[in-house]
Chains A and B, each alone.
Chain A
Amino acid sequence: MAVLNVNGKALDHNAEPDTPLLWVLREQLGLTGTKYGCGISQCGSCTVHVDGVATRSCGVPVSAVADKKIVTVEALAANGTLNKIQQAWVALDVPQCGYCQSGMVMAATALLAANPKPTDADIDAAMTNICRCGTYQQVREAIHAAAKA
């Protein structure tokens, strides 16, 4: 049994140390908001915050984050209130299929925390997540909208 600090709680799991964080979150802790898209740190669907930094959880063995604070998409809304990014996402109807959007929202939340007024170039550099439905235009608009909110 090992313990992981996820969304402010100490949670037990019994995954082998080399198990990617993604699969521990999804299969041991039932946090399926974090998505599997590629497993090789390419697509960003699995983005979570590790000590506040947007991190692709498929590329991180669970043993490497044993003493870190992990936040997943499920914990972004505080007491039922969506965070600024989520609100902008809803206001601008960003998601299409939605499968990439947990990762998008996590990456955008981390971007805004580090850089409250990102330029287009900042967005290009930080938002390397793949969206096959092609929501990029709305993602950009929503980040700017959240920055202004």
Chain B
Amino acid sequence: MTIHTSLGRRNFLVSSAAVAGGFSLGFHVPFLDDGEANAQAVKELNAWVVIHPDDKVVIRIARSEMGQGTLTGLCQLVAEELECDWNKVTWEYPTPGENLARNRVWKNFSTGGSRGIRESNQYVREGGAMAREMLIAAAASQWKVPAAECSVANGVITHKDKKLTYGAVAAAAAQLEPPKEVKLKDPKDWKIAGKPLKRLDTVDKVTGKQIYGMDYTMPGMLVATVRACPVIGGKLKSFDAAKAEKMPGVKKILAIDGNAVVVVADTYWHAQSALAAVTSEWDVGELGKVQQATINASLKEGLDATEAFVGNKAGDAKAAIAGAAKKVEATYNFPYQHHVTMEPMNATARYTADKCEVWCGTQNGEAALAAASEASGLPVGKCDVYKLLLGGGFGRRGRSDYVRQAVLVAKEMPGTPIKLIWSREEDMTHCQYHPITMAKLTGGLDAQGNLVGLQIRISGQSILASLLPQNLQNGMDPVVFQGLMQSGVEAAYGYELPNLLVDHAMRNPHITAGFWRGVNVNQNAVYMECFMDELAAAAGQDPLAFRLKYLKPKWAAVLKAACDKAGYGKPLPEGHFHGISQVMGYGSYVAGVAEVSVSPDGTLKIHKITAATNPGHVVNPAQIERQVAGSFVYGLSAALYGEITVKDGVVEQTNFDSYNVMRIDEMPQVETVLVPTHDFWGGVGEPTIAVAAPAVLNAIAKATGKRVRNLPLMNQDLKKGA
């Protein structure tokens, strides 16, 4: 284990983890060996910036790093305004408890909806700029010259022939009043932000040193594992631990929350082996009778139900379609999906009568803190959460169910740290799944092939109803309409149509629904963008030309950029076909062109994807490229294989053998085109996922003449004549 020393402010922030765990929180701190003694006295310049006498810059990051690169991007933004030396930058997480104690000085910890950078760029840059002004003021006062006469670059302040490094004046600067106002740089002048800099968190990830929640360890720690009722919502009736109790390493076997059995042992392997020997009886009631067919039937009924929530409306779609020369209708479905973060859920908790502490990967430190408080029965002020890097989030770790369980177990064994680990099987069967929906789309074309009316009926599950019912608006879930919304900076519909009706018949099965990377933009883009191709075909028009008749400028521009780069409309190799799609989501405009072939025996090959993104401002183009390529893996895994099904109320898939995902042999070459317009802040971790499936499905339709409307593709026969 590497021991990274605790330093000054950070000592305060993460002392429990560093001291009790005897290891670092996983920051990469390359030059820690010197300056430890004087570092103890280092005072922050503000909540975001700490500068050490040796010029080391510590930037505080409130959002969670789960692979998406937000940590590096946020550091770039702060460093840009701070004008420090990028090579001296390191980072640390403040804790949610600290945030609370300091009147939420770091604001939102929640990391989802591709918001990490776009929603905090303003205040983190201000933090950097204020610190810079204070450093300059301290140097100016030491030199007794006006601050306005000083210049600064790379962490060095200069006045005529005099120079001082940030480290030399940081202590004095920390005593100064922060400026009331600062002017942020014009992004055109950026030198650190906007550049394809390397991530700050790479080396430990290739040497095995990076500590995730799964790897966290403490002296005296025991390991627990859990089996919750296989039917989500069911209860534990009884369990028999007689055999398991006698097995090696077992310390305690208990029930929690009335719905789960937990074995605590000296190791995970012992806990897991003993849990397998515990027999349990469940009370599942009517839920035990739910079949996938039952769920599908209820959604199907919703497609024609008279009652529905209206999400987007213009003119009179029904009348326009009724009077149209040609009517086109299609029904699509999108099954339940699982996030399958590479690291299964886990958390370590330690409870005593006056403190509850949790070490875990979480996308929402403050929600994890609230969960710790609720489960422990201690006020939030007596709880804290020490965040570790996540082995994947994708929305799954925005929920704190695993934190709650760890705390409940720890509470039964006061003083003993408990690491609760979910097996992959537990993880696969107890998720908040990407919701299941269907959609019926009806379009009316006039004699010239113009789209005169469009109706989209979505039927299916609401995430808000499942997780945040208090956020429903008179029963309506506005999130259902992501990507199809009338307006707004978040996920607005790009087509200008005279007559449109988008509505939602809510049907909520017992399976918990939740946020899954890309959320509802994903299936809404499948519905809309595949149907646009169907309409174009019915109109006898090219899918790109057909779309461009209706797309608003920003949406059109990004689609054209992708098509230009891909050579859309130009000859392709024999048997290769292009499919296109576009969407606006998470503030960004994205489009994709898929090049596929389908062999006569039905084998699909995705050769290449060309993807264009307009994220407004670009903070790190190299990381955007990686998010875009990764988004295709995520989106195409779902399109090819992703399907969670229910039998007797239980999720049928248990591991990667029954829930397949894409591997490297299926990975197409992804070419990313950035077309930033520099006039807004969009997210990049999610939007591209939504264009993956429709682009490929549209290309398949061209290659085979077959329109696939039911996902995943593995259930479809693409063979000629099949």
Contacts and interface: CB of A to CB of B under 8 A. Distances in A.
Interface of A: 15-16, 19-20, 23, 26-28, 30-40, 42-43, 45, 72-74, 76-77, 82, 86, 89-90, 93-102, 105, 123-125, 127-140
Contacts of B341: 97, 99, 132
A96 B70 CA distance: 11
Interface of B: 1, 66-69, 198-199, 201-212, 214-215, 217, 223, 248, 267-269, 339-344, 389-394, 421, 423-424, 622, 626, 629-634, 655-657, 661-665, 667, 669-670
Nearest to A143: B664
Contact of A32 (B69, B202, B211, B389): B211
Contacts of A28: 267
Contact of B342 (A27, A77, A97): A97
A138 B629 contact: yes
A95 B206 CA distance: 8
Given A43-B342, A93-B622, A135-B626, A99 B667 contact: no
A27 B267 CA distance: 7
A1 to B, nearest CB: 15
Contacts of A94: 202, 206
Contacts of B215: 26, 32
Given A27-B268, A98-B67, 4 more contacts: A31-B208, A72-B208, A89-B202, A102-B206
Q: Which interface residue of A42, A76, A132 has the most chain B CB atoms within 10 A?
A: A132
Given A45-B342, A97-B391, A86 B206 contact: yes
Contacts of A131: 342, 633
A40 B634 contact: no
Contacts of A123: 664
A140 B664 contact: yes
A15 B1 CA distance: 21
B344 A36 contact: yes
Contacts of B392: 97, 99, 132-133
A6 to B, nearest CB: 13
A31 B217 CA distance: 12
B342 A100 contact: yes
A96 B661 contact: no
Contacts of A125: 665
Given A36-B214, A82-B207, A130 B663 contact: yes
Contacts of B206: 73, 82, 86, 89-90, 94-95, 98, 101-102, 105
B177 to A, nearest CB: 40
16 contacts: A15-B269, A19-B269, A23-B267, A32-B208, A34-B208, A82-B203, A89-B202, A93-B202, A97-B389, A98-B201, A99-B212, A99-B391, A130-B663, A134-B629, A135-B626, A136-B664
A137 B69 contact: no
B626 A93 contact: yes
A95 B205 contact: yes
Nearest to B670: A137
Contacts, number: 181
B343 A37 contact: yes
Given A96-B69, A105-B206, A134-B631, A42 B212 contact: no
B663 A136 contact: yes
Given A96-B630, A132-B342, A132-B394, A76 B207 contact: yes
A-B interface, 9 closest residue pairs, ranked by CB to CB distance from nearest: A33-B208, A134-B633, A99-B391, A97-B67, A98-B205, A134-B630, A96-B67, A73-B208, A32-B215
Q: Which interface residue of B198, B267, B269, B394 has the most chain A CB atoms within 10 A?
A: B269
Given A36-B344, A73-B208, A97-B66, A135 B203 contact: no
Nearest to A86: B206
Q: Which interface residue of B206, B223, B632, B656 has the most chain A CB atoms within 10 A?
A: B206
A35 B632 contact: no
Contact of A23 (B209, B268, B629): B268
Q: Which interface residue of A19, A30, A97 has the most chain B CB atoms within 10 A?
A: A97
A113 B269 CA distance: 32
B389 A98 contact: yes
Contacts of A130: 342, 656, 661, 663
Contacts of B423: 39
A98 B293 CA distance: 38
Contacts of B630: 96, 133-135
A35 B208 CA distance: 9
A74 B267 contact: no
A34 B661 CA distance: 21
Contacts of B203: 82, 90
A54 to B, nearest CB: 14
Contact of A74 (B207, B212, B268): B207
A35 B343 contact: yes
Contacts of B214: 32, 35-36
A125 B665 CA distance: 7
A105 B217 CA distance: 24
A98 B626 contact: no
Contact of B632 (A20, A105, A128, A134): A134
A101 B209 CA distance: 11
B211 A132 contact: no
Nearest to B68: A96
A125 B267 CA distance: 35
A13 B201 CA distance: 32
B624 to A, nearest CB: 12
Contacts of B655: 38-40, 42
B515 to A, nearest CB: 16
A33 B207 contact: yes
Nearest to B428: A38
A124 B668 CA distance: 12
B377 to A, nearest CB: 31
Contacts of A34: 208
A23 B248 CA distance: 15
Nearest to B208: A33
A149 B392 CA distance: 31
B419 to A, nearest CB: 10
A113 to B, nearest CB: 17
A79 B532 CA distance: 59
